[in-house]
Amino acid sequence: MKKFTQIFEKKIADIKGGFNKEALEKFLKEHDEIDIITNKGERYFIAPFMHQKGKMAQANDIAFTASDKAGKQKEILYTDIKSIEY
């Protein structure tokens, strides 16, 4: 269980070799929910209901689907990812 101070504290992912489907799915398997920050400064998230034990059915080798704050889903290119927070 997370400590109270850790609930609102986000950490930035350190993924070696860039962002791709395999790296993203591995990270989701470990952390269950992540925030995606794009090169344009947009923030999206992948919630637990959007994957099965890290496997994203809607993802391919070029892009994946994530949600914005309003709950609208958008396709994000792996090359557009600036960072991942968890």
Note the pLDDT of residue 64.
96
CA distance 6 to 80: 28
3-state percent breakdown (helix, strand, coil) of the chain, nearest 5: 25, 30, 45
What confidence tier does 6 reach under pLDDT thresholds 50, 70, 90? low
Q: Which of 2-6, 10-14, 27-31, 71-75 has the lowest mean pLDDT?
A: 2-6
> How confident is the model over 29-78, as pLDDT tens digits?
998 999 999 999 999 999 999 999 999 988 999 999 999 999 999 999 99
- Mind listing the domains of the chain with CATH numbers? 11-85 (2.30.30)
pTM of the model: 0.80
